[in-house]
Amino acid sequence: MKSLRHPWIDRLMATNAWVVYAFFYLPILVLVVFSFNASARVGIWGGVSPRWYGEVLGNAEVLDALKNSLIVSGISTIVSTIIGTAAALAIDRYRFRGRRGLDGMLYLPIIIPDVTMAVMMLLFFARVFDIVELVGPRWQLGVTTIVISHVAFNIAFVAVVVRARLGQIDKSLEEAARDLYAGAWQTFRRVTLPLIMPGVLGGALLALTLSLDDVVVTSFVAGPGSTTLPIYVFGLIRRGVSPQINAISSLMLIASIALVGLSLLLQRNPQDAILPDERLKET
């Protein structure tokens, strides 16, 4: 294959690849390095110090926002992983009425822009609350509405990852179990589930990451007292750059990279997973 290309084209492509990787990683690296800058003037290097990290981790507002973030992402991950895995199994393994509709609805939350999804959720809750108020109780935006919205977009991401995994496993293993008189539940519990477990965990970690990172949808459906970490940080960023933001951002970035890395590790075959576009191929 190499003979098909001029050597200089090869060299140009290699250079381009290095440039793109540098573009991906240098800004992140610069940010993390400067988060250890002792100087209060962010652009001037004043020696290494964990000072800003100490300040950030001692900040009650940050810890409060972190707590909200963990509650929201924990619940939404568990719920969306269960629903999303079931949906992936249904679409991949069964033929039933409404299958195509479900398939289509599982694609839209992935490509829809954040702002549109945010508008949808806000107006929905506003309408529902108006109607509920006619009967009595006054509902308000808060942690619950954030969780509901996060589950709405996370189901689709979990389903994509699990389906990619289902596509990789050998169906004859399940057939063999059935032939040996295992019931449907037993087959699922003893054969299918262990086989798709990496996909389920990978999907769950992806859902966790997306939920921990979301700004736009959350800011639309958050109420007083339910500020999550990204919303808090977004508010700070809009006021300008500061060494404290550098420290929080670095922590968030490292946590998020660790989760994504773990998720990819579990899925083993990265090109088959988390590629939303893959799903359209078969339809």
Partner 1 sequence: MRKPAFEPGLEKAAEAAERRRGFLLGLPAYVYLVVFFAVPFFIVFVTSFARRSATGATKYDEFSTSAYVKLLDPLVGTIVWRSFWIATITTAVCLLFAYPFAYYIATRRPAVRNALLVLVMIPFWSNFLVRTYAWRFILGSDGPLGTLTEAMGREPFRLLFTPAAILIGLVYGFLPFMVLPLYAAIERLDWRLVEAARDLYADGWTAFRKVTLPLTRSGIIAGSLLVFVPSFGAYVTPAILGGGKDLLLGSYIVTQFGQARNRPLGSALSIVIMAVMLVALMIRNRSGAEEI
**Among residues 65, 121, 146, 222, the one that binds partner 1 under rule CB under 8 A:** 121
Q: Cα-Cα-Cα-Cα dihedral of 139, 140, 141, 145, to 10°?
A: -20
**Among residues 50, 63, 116, 190, the one that binds partner 1 under rule CB under 8 A:** 116
What CA–CA distance (Å, rounded) separates 70 from 65? 9
Angle at which helix 143-168 crosses helix 60-93, to 10 degrees, equals: 40
Q: Scan for tokens 């990789």, then name that residue.
A: 168
Residue 224 CB burial class (10 angstroms; 0-12, 13-18, ≥19): exposed
Which one, 71 or 82, has the nearer CB to partner 1? 82
Q: How far is the CB of 160 from partner 1 (least distance, A)?
A: 12
Q: Which stretch binds partner 1 (CB under 8 A): 46-54, 55-63, 168-176, 258-266?
A: 258-266
Q: Using DSSP, how many helices (H) and how many strands (E) does the chain show? A: 13, 0
Site for partner 1 in 194-253 (CB under 8 A): 206, 209-210, 212-213, 215-216, 220, 230, 233-234, 237-238, 241, 245-246, 249-250, 252-253
End-to-end CA distance of the chain: 32
Q: How far is the CB of 67 from partner 1 (least distance, A)?
A: 18
What CA–CA distance (Å, rounded) separates 88 from 106? 10
**Among residues 67, 127, 189, 190, the one that binds partner 1 under rule CB under 8 A:** 127
Among 209, 206, 223, CA closest to 275: 206
Site for partner 1 in 130-189 (CB under 8 A): 148-149, 151-152, 155, 159, 184
Site for partner 1 in 52-111 (CB under 8 A): 82-84, 86-87, 89-91, 93-99, 101-102, 105-106, 108-109, 111
**Among residues 59, 70, 74, 124, the one that binds partner 1 under rule CB under 8 A:** 124
Q: Which stretch binds partner 1 (CB under 8 A): 50-58, 132-140, 189-197, 257-265?
A: 257-265
Angle at which helix 143-168 crosses helix 114-135, to 10 degrees, equals: 130
What CA–CA distance (Å, rounded) separates 211 from 230? 10
**Among residues 57, 70, 71, 112, the one that binds partner 1 under rule CB under 8 A:** 112
CB 186 within 8 A of CB 177: yes
CB 247 within 8 A of CB 52: yes
Q: Scan for tokens 């773990």, then name that residue.
A: 262
Size of the site for partner 1 (CB under 8 A): 104
Site for partner 1 in 7-36 (CB under 8 A): 9, 12-14, 16-17, 19-21, 23-25, 27-28, 30-31, 34
Q: How far is the CB of 223 from partner 1 (least distance, A)?
A: 15
Which one, 227 or 249, has the nearer CB to partner 1? 249
Q: How far is the CB of 63 from partner 1 (least distance, A)?
A: 18
Angle at which helix 193-213 crosses helix 60-93, to 10 degrees, equals: 140
Which one, 138 or 281, has the nearer CB to partner 1? 281
Q: How far is the CB of 178 from partner 1 (least distance, A)?
A: 11
Q: How far is the CB of 228 from partner 1 (least distance, A)?
A: 11
Alpha-helical (H) ranges within 58-170 are 60-93, 99-105, 108-111, 114-135, 143-168
